[in-house]
Amino acid sequence: MSEPLQQMEAASKLLELKNIDLSFGGVKAISNISFDVMEGEVRAIIGPNGAGKSSLLNVINGFYHPQQGEIWFDGKQRHAMKPYQIAYQGIARTFQNIALFKGMTVLDNIMTGRFTHMHKNMFWQALWKGPAEKEEIENREFVEHIIDFLEIQAIRKTPVGRLPYGLQKRVELGRALAAQPKMLLLDEPMAGMNVEEKEDMCRFILDVNDTFGTTIVLIEHDMGVVMDIADRVVVLDYGRKIGDGTPDVVRNDQTVIDAYLGVSH
Amino acid sequence: MTLSLKKPTYPVPGLDTFPKLLLHNARMFTDKDAMREKEFGIWQSWTWSQVAEEVERFALGLQANGVKAGDTVLIIGGNRPRTYWTMCAVQSLGAVPVPTYHDSVASEMQFVIEHSDARVIVAEDQEQVDKILDVKARCPSVELIIYDDPRGMKGYDPQEIKIQDFVTVQAQGEAIRKDNPNQFQELVNQGKGEDLSIILYTSGTTGQPKGVVLTYDNTLLTGYYGGLLEGLTENEEILAYLPVAWIGDHIFSYAQSYTMGFCVNCPESTETVASDMREIGPTYYFAPPRVFESLLTNVQIRMEDAAPFKRKMFKYFMQVAKKTGIKLLENKPVGLMDRIKYALGNVLVYGPLKDALGMGRVRLAYTAGEAIGGEIFDFYRSLGINIKQLYGQTESSVFITVQPDGEVFPDTVGTPSPGVELKIADNGEVIYRSPGAFHSYFKNPESTAATKTDEGWVHTGDAGFMTPNGHLRIIDRAKDVGAFNSGKMFAPKYIENKLKFYPHIQEAVTFGDGRDDCMAFINIDLGAVGNWAERNNIAYASYQELAAHPAVNKMVAQSIAEVNESLLDDEMLAHSQVSRFLILHKELDADDGELTRTKKVKRKLINERYKVLIDALYEGKDQCFIETEVAFEDGRVGTISGDISIHDAKTFNPVVQAS
């Protein structure tokens, strides 16, 4: 391979995991997993229950620290970090079980997603007038664009706890988007939704990818959804990677079929 | 205000099209808001001069894309500033805009696209563009789609159709304007009042939709006269929330805005209409009866949930409002004590309530489309909201009749609007001739000829009559109206509706066409009457048994007597009092073919099937034996038979007024 081509490939690789091992005591959650995420793609992680999908997301997110292996993000190797430091690096996520502030309005919840973009110190915040106000107005404007994007204008001032599940999921996506992440991690964004809500969510995910160029890594159980919207798919089973490639390749892979349909071990 | 309507009176002499008015308004009301839309949580506004500029750039851009005089341009969009600007831009080129319902499905849209011969379509967003692309194979005339919202439109590049961004088209227009600053003005000057201004497709309950073609003289003059009649000014605020393809929105939010110069506000989304309305506080408002009804129901439900003190306060002051509110609204004499109570109620209840409804500033509200319940009507009027009924249709550019201030009655639709001539045809049908009477149905000369006579009289299809004080009352669809042997009119649905107003009457069928007097079949409401029977210790085993019970018959007779008495108020209907009735032994059922699936009575079938009973009614018998087949839900067929007793109902002699 010529040198410029190598460089180009390195530049378009947003995230790379090399030989990740993660165990809790004697339980090995992830063993020797390597894969990469290219800039601007929609990457899906699938696998049966307990395959280690959420653990893997937590590793990327910096919530778990793998015992072995390397993580490269945006061209730099990552060392042990707190999740908020990861957030500053440009990774945002949503959760399998919605983790919003139930008593706060939709607007306020999404505003919390802007914390990485608020730089004025406590003095200015307390004084309020002046730079802090200006900063708040700028952030609010950004949040309003997200509200418009996700078509949730009607519930702007509604406390999140009063919203149906499907809308809460959308608000959570909004909060993650507010951080203007380079990479967005979605943990089962369509779990528990009806067909119509799923279609809406698919549309939003593709639009996010399209409009903002955000790289998306998602875990999802609905195979139809994954095959439709993902560019590439990683398949996990018992903490190991058993497949990796385009939806078509993965769909026809015998190991993957066995893992899903079950074979006698 | 008197208008000489011999010849058209334009807001400003010579300004006979909307594009001309736009340029005029841009000079007159340069910095006054013409349009607002809530976007990103903030009301964004455009002044008349800004709107004129936007329209000019888009119009020249459209021209650069080949739109020329005589073309039709389809517009698919919600209540957004660009939707309205597109209409004016298309009109300024001498082309005809065809707004269509943006919530219709692709197959419905296909008919309009095909029928209107549109070569250019201006669509709001990706959703609409997708629908057009779905049906494009069957609509070969379409050459260009212009979209407003670029979201999700990346990567759309079908081979057969050109797709362009609204902004790009405007940029093309801007380039032309730089080269030739007078081009737009010259284009606008070519328009004339008698030119076609718009085609609106009516939904049509039967058959395919019809495209109603209207001229500038239709919409512009009708809107203007209506505005003058009500004293509208350039300071009104209106919320545009009804479909732009509907004539009402076209007149209220477009024609009247241009002729009067007032501001049109577009909501943030269809779900935020209620809160947007509260923020804007419109002074001029239209809503169909069901909207007023559901708002009232909401208020009542929320008051039931309120704290006891508030609830009591609400109840007390609503009583006060009922007594004095309407009188105050109509400037009738009211005692000092009542005035003080009402003023107090205004501070404590009416003011906050109107504010919550977004009607705090409403000077004029219209409702139309169907009959509005007297109680709902009075509720709003007693709060001091001047809500009035009007009667109109797409073919008349809305206004046929309007209730004048101080002459508002729940059961009439008012007196003829300025310039409208109204007649009742021999068959009882309402026909009119007016400045707003439509030009023709698009590409449908047969329907045009059937609806509009050579002298310009338009058939409404509604039966009605003029009350002695000169108001129009609509009673029924014309095809259902018959005549008694005496030649007097018989309007079955009108009487049936009055009967069905009672909770214990489920369905009523009246007879009278070609007879001497009116008689009725009644179906009782099993739920309501059953409940009543339980409370009154009346035992029954079936509908048939309950229907035959003397006490039930007595109750129904009482209701009919009340209806008869109320019919006395109408000279035209006093003779159609129900003289005899019977309660049917079975419920009329769609499964037996007696009702349509939408629960409308099939008169012809009932006339045939129950001929024995009808004959018995008119022969003066007291009882009649009947056997009818019924279809059970599992498909089996059985019979129900029994004796049905026939009763006389109390009728009243019309009091002849000495004049």
State the pLDDT confidence band at B598, using cuts at 50, 70 and 90. Answer: low
Which sign, positive or negative, has the C-alpha torsion B318, B320, B324, B329? Answer: negative
Q: For strand B415-416 and strand B421-424, is the pairing parallel, antiparallel, or unpaired?
A: unpaired
Whether B278 and B356 have beta carbons less than 8 Å apart is answered as yes
Put residue B414 in one of left, alpha, beta given phi > 0 → left and psi -120 to 50 → alpha: left
Which residue in chain A has the smallest CA separation from B155?
A210
Whether B414 and B390 have beta carbons less than 8 Å apart is answered as yes
- pLDDT value of residue B620: 87
Distance from CA of A123 to the nearest CA of B (A): 29
For residue B122, the surrounding DSSP H or E stretch is strand B120-123
Whole-angstrom distance, CA of residue B66 vs CA of residue B414? 46
Q: Taking all residues of chain B, what is their mean pLDDT, rounded to a whole number?
A: 89
State the pLDDT confidence band at B2, using cuts at 50, 70 and 90. Answer: very low
Out of B1-5, B6-10, B570-574, B620-624, the most confident range is B620-624
Residues of chain A contacting residue B125, judged by C-beta atoms under 8 Å apart: none
Whole-angstrom distance, CA of residue B405 vs CA of residue B216? 28
**The amino acid at A25:** G
Whether B44 contacts chain A with CB within 8 A:
no
For residue A149, the surrounding DSSP H or E stretch is helix A131-149
Which residue in chain A has the smallest CA separation from B40?
A144
- pLDDT value of residue A263: 67
Which residue in chain B has the smallest CA separation from A143?
B40
Number of Cβ within a 10 Å radius of residue A119: 9
Region B50-55: mean pLDDT is: 97
Whether B39 contacts chain A with CB within 8 A:
yes
Q: Does residue B26 surpass a pLDDT of 90?
A: yes
In sequence order, the 6+-apart residues with CB closer than 8 A to the CB of B84 are B35, B240, B244, B253, B254, B264
Whole-angstrom distance, CA of residue A120 vs CA of residue A101? 23
In Å, how far are A166, A235, B414 from A91, measured between CA atoms? 23, 22, 65
Residues of chain B contacting residue A147, judged by C-beta atoms under 8 Å apart: 40-41
**The amino acid at A110:** I
Residues of chain A with pLDDT under 70: 1-11, 261-265
Q: Residues A157-182, buried b or exposed e (16+ Cβ, 10 A)?
A: eebbeebeebbbbbbbbbbbbbbbbb
Distance from CA of A55 to the nearest CA of B (A): 33
Whether A147 contacts chain B with CB within 8 A:
yes
- pLDDT value of residue B43: 95
Whole-angstrom distance, CA of residue B271 vs CA of residue B251? 23
Whole-angstrom distance, CA of residue B573 vs CA of residue B653? 12
Whole-angstrom distance, CA of residue A177 vs CA of residue A184? 8
State the pLDDT confidence band at B204, using cuts at 50, 70 and 90. Answer: low
Q: Do A211 and B40 touch (CB under 8 A)?
A: no
Residues of chain A contacting residue B268, judged by C-beta atoms under 8 Å apart: 153-154
For residue A154, give the nearest of B42, B154, B271 by CB distance.
B271
Q: Does residue B186 surpass a pLDDT of 80?
A: yes
Whole-angstrom distance, CA of residue B450 vs CA of residue B454? 10
In sequence order, the 6+-apart residues with CB closer than 8 A to the CB of B345 are B317, B320, B321
Q: Does residue B158 surpass a pLDDT of 90?
A: no
Q: For strand A183-187 and strand A42-46, is the pairing parallel, antiparallel, or unpaired?
A: unpaired
In Å, how far are B12, B30, B197, B315, B590 from B263, measured between CA atoms? 19, 13, 21, 37, 49
Distance from CA of A86 to the nearest CA of B (A): 30
For residue A109, the surrounding DSSP H or E stretch is helix A106-112
Whole-angstrom distance, CA of residue B132 vs CA of residue B100? 12
Q: How many residues does chain B have?
A: 659
Q: Identify which has the larger pLDDT, B247 or B3.
A: B247
Which residue in chain A has the smallest CA separation from B274?
A154
Domains and CATH numbers, chain B: 18-283 (3.40.50.12780), 286-478 (3.40.50.12780), 483-648 (3.30.300.30)
**The amino acid at B498:** K
- pLDDT value of residue B1: 41
For residue A154, give the nearest of B40, B154, B269 by CB distance.
B269
Whether B608 contacts chain A with CB within 8 A:
no
Which residue, B539, B529, B531, is CA-closest to B587?
B529
Q: B137-145: long-range contacts at Cβ-Cβ below 8 A with a sequence spacing of 24 or more?
A: B138/B110, B138/B114, B139/B110, B139/B113, B139/B114, B141/B113, B141/B114, B141/B117, B142/B113, B142/B118, B143/B66, B143/B119, B144/B65, B144/B66, B144/B119, B144/B120, B145/B120, B145/B121
- pLDDT value of residue A251: 85
Residues of chain B contacting residue A108, judged by C-beta atoms under 8 Å apart: none
* Order of all β-strands in the sheet with B72-76: B96-100, B72-76, B120-123, B144-147, B162-165
Whole-angstrom distance, CA of residue B379 vs CA of residue B387? 10
State the pLDDT confidence band at B600, using cuts at 50, 70 and 90. Answer: confident
Tens-place pLDDT, residues B520-548:
999 998 888 888 888 888 899 889 999 99
For residue B40, give the nearest of A148, A154, A207 by CB distance.
A148
In Å, how far are B51, B93, B94, B303, B475 from B171, measured between CA atoms? 15, 17, 21, 54, 54
Residues of chain A contacting residue B39, judged by C-beta atoms under 8 Å apart: 148
User: What is the number of CB-based contacts under 8 A between chain A and chain B?
Assistant: 34
State the pLDDT confidence band at B206, using cuts at 50, 70 and 90. Answer: low
Whole-angstrom distance, CA of residue A134 vs CA of residue A114? 14
Whether B565 contacts chain A with CB within 8 A:
no
Whether B279 contacts chain A with CB within 8 A:
no
In Å, how far are A57, B20, B214 from B222, measured between CA atoms? 65, 17, 11
What residues of chain B, 141 to 170, have a C-beta less than 8 Å from chain A?
Answer: 151-152, 154-155
ipTM computed for the complex:
0.77
**Token digits of residue B177:** 């304007």
Q: Do B151 and A207 touch (CB under 8 A)?
A: yes
For residue B151, give the nearest of A140, A147, A211 by CB distance.
A211
Tens-place pLDDT, residues B289-340:
878 878 887 888 788 788 999 999 999 999 999 889 988 888 888 899 999 9
Helix %, strand %, coil % of chain B (to 5): 40, 20, 35
Residues of chain B contacting residue A145, judged by C-beta atoms under 8 Å apart: 40
Q: Do A207 and B42 touch (CB under 8 A)?
A: no
Whole-angstrom distance, CA of residue A250 vs CA of residue B4? 79
Whole-angstrom distance, CA of residue A201 vs CA of residue A174? 12
Tens-place pLDDT, residues B416-449:
998 899 999 887 889 999 999 999 999 999 989 9
Q: Taking all residues of chain A, what is their mean pLDDT, rounded to a whole number?
A: 86
Q: For strand A42-46 and strand A215-219, is the pairing parallel, antiparallel, or unpaired?
A: parallel
What residues of chain A, 178 to 207, have a C-beta less than 8 Å from chain B?
Answer: 203, 206-207
**The amino acid at A234:** V
Q: DSSP letter string over B291-359?
A: HHHHHHHHHHHHHHTS-HHHHHHHHHHHHHHHHHHHHHHTT----HHHHHHHHHHIIIIIHHHHHHHT-
Q: Do B41 and A156 touch (CB under 8 A)?
A: yes
Domains and CATH numbers, chain A: 1-88+223-265 (3.40.50.300)
State the pLDDT confidence band at B633, using cuts at 50, 70 and 90. Answer: low
